[in-house]
């Protein structure tokens, strides 16, 4: 199979030389295993952290070995009763064209409900991150005013729409281009701003209409978190989902300089990983499938064609080239 390997570890921003297209023989299909042809592979911000040789919540990628990550593909040979040829499955051997997998390392995608790609986005880990982060981690309740950063991205766009669907008094989003800001308003956000236009702190304050925010869903960290701390109301909650502003940085993180506000405002800041939210999967899936079916929630995808373009898609993701979920179609 053709696969993308990590050729060297990026320092700061990843560059094409950090990646290599290679070919390796597929292992023989054993009993209980399936051969899958990948249809879509996911590129995700967290993968940047795995490219560093540091211990984190997920193990670093090995040098000169295929990268891995979420993928959805079609079963083309099966040595298992549990999966038949033609089934579409979600699994973790992305960044390659074909994969041999133990059946229990895969789950069947309900393609009767949505296209295969959605199982890497709204109906997959991305959706669960948004759903559980907002409702379980930040303990959103109807009437809350919500701010979400990275709002035009895969997770953020879902967070804002879920908040609206669940009765938020106001949903504010930030993103990095005017087109993305316009898209957020189309998706039903009450207010949106381009964080490149002026300090986040000023733009967020203006967007709240003087009423502050009760929940901040943080995808960005840095100046966004600092601005949110300033605007959070007493008893406010922050779901710390990501800090993409610093994934490529080689220096220690600066802001937030106003963290002590958390004391007087009695704020809760909770970091979380989607892997720790699996108990909510069934509830999430049922709700999200219904929201997609009736149009309450819509999702965008930015699709790049060809395995050889996966490294560029990943690099572009970190620079904000995507609206909604960034995917590579094989």
By CB under 6 A, name the binding residues for ligand NDP: 44-46, 126, 129, 150, 152-156, 175-177, 180, 219-220, 241-242, 244-245, 272-274, 317-318, 320, 322, 326
Closest approach, Cβ 278 to ligand NDP, in A, equals 11
Burial class (CB in 10 A: 0-12, 13-18, 19+), 21: middle
Closest approach, Cβ 302 to ligand NDP, in A, equals 8
Closest approach, Cβ 77 to ligand NDP, in A, equals 31
Closest approach, Cβ 276 to ligand NDP, in A, equals 8
Q: How far apart are CA 300 and CA 296, in angstroms?
A: 14
Closest approach, Cβ 249 to ligand NDP, in A, equals 9
- For residues 141, 144, 149, 152, the Cα torsion angle rounded to the nearest 10 degrees is 80
Residue closer to ligand NDP (CB basis): 155 or 267:
155
Residue closer to ligand NDP (CB basis): 99 or 137:
137
Residue closer to ligand NDP (CB basis): 169 or 177:
177
Percent helix, percent strand, percent coil in the chain, to nearest 5: 35, 25, 40
Closest approach, Cβ 322 to ligand NDP, in A, equals 5
Q: How far apart are CA 94 and CA 277, in angstroms?
A: 22
Residue closer to ligand NDP (CB basis): 19 or 299:
299
Q: How far is CA 97 from the centre of its chain?
A: 22
Closest approach, Cβ 323 to ligand NDP, in A, equals 7
**Smallest Cα–Cα separation from 41: which of 241, 312, 219, 303?**
303
Sequence-distant (6+) residues with CB within 8 A of 136 are 277, 280
Q: How far apart are CA 47 and CA 311, in angstroms?
A: 11
Closest approach, Cβ 298 to ligand NDP, in A, equals 15
Residue closer to ligand NDP (CB basis): 14 or 78:
14
Residue closer to ligand NDP (CB basis): 176 or 236:
176
**E strands of the chain, at which residues?**
2-6, 19-23, 33-42, 71-78, 88-91, 98-102, 107-108, 145-148, 170-175, 191-194, 213-218, 232-240, 268-271, 301-305, 325-329
Q: How far apart are CA 325 and CA 302, in angstroms?
A: 6
Residue closer to ligand NDP (CB basis): 34 or 238:
238
With b for 16 or more beta-carbon neighbours within 10 A and e for fewer, the 71-96 pattern comes to bbbbbeebebeebeeebbbbbebbbb
Closest approach, Cβ 273 to ligand NDP, in A, equals 4
Contact 159, 190 (CB under 8 A): no
Q: How do 325-329 and 301-305 pair as beta strands?
A: parallel
Residue closer to ligand NDP (CB basis): 80 or 219:
219
Q: How far apart are CA 37 and CA 134, in angstroms?
A: 34
Residue closer to ligand NDP (CB basis): 156 or 236:
156
């Amino acid at each position: 199979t053709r696969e993308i390997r990590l050729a060297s570890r990026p320092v700061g921003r990843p560059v094409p030389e950090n990646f290599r297209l290679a070919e390796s023989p597929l292992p023989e299909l054993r009993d209980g295993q399936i051969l899958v042809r990948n249809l879509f592979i996911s590129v995700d911000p967290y993968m940047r952290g795995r490219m560093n040789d540091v211990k984190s919540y997920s193990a670093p990628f090995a040098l000169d070995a295929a990268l891995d990550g979420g993928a959805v593909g079609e079963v083309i040979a099966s040595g298992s009763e549990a999966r038949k040829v033609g089934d579409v499955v979600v699994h973790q051997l992305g960044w390659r064209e074909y994969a041999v997998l133990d059946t229990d390392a895969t789950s069947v995608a309900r393609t009767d409900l949505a296209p295969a790609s959605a199982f890497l986005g709204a109906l997959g880990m991305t959706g669960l991150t948004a759903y559980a982060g907002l409702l379980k981690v930040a303990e959103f309740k109807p009437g809350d005013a919500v701010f979400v950063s990275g709002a035009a991205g895969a997770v953020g766009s879902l967070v804002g729409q879920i908040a609206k669907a669940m009765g938020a008094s106001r949903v504010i989003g930030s993103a990095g281009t005017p087109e993305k800001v316009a898209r957020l308003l189309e998706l039903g956000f009450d207010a949106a701003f381009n964080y490149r236009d002026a300090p986040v702190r000023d733009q967020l304050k203006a967007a709240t209409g003087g009423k502050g925010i009760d929940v901040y869903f943080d995808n960005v960290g840095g100046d966004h978190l600092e601005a949110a701390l300033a605007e959070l109301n007493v008893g406010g909650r922050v779901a710390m989902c990501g800090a993409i502003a610093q994934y490529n940085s080689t220096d220690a993180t600066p802001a937030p300089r106003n963290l002590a506000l958390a004391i007087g405002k009695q704020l809760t800041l909770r970091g979380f990983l989607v892997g720790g939210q699996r108990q909510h999967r069934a509830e999430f899936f049922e709700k999200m499938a219904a929201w997609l079916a009736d149009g309450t929630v819509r999702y965008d995808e930015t699709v790049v064609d060809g395995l050889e373009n996966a490294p560029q898609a990943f690099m572009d993701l970190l620079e904000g080239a995507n609206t909604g979920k960034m995917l590579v179609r094989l």
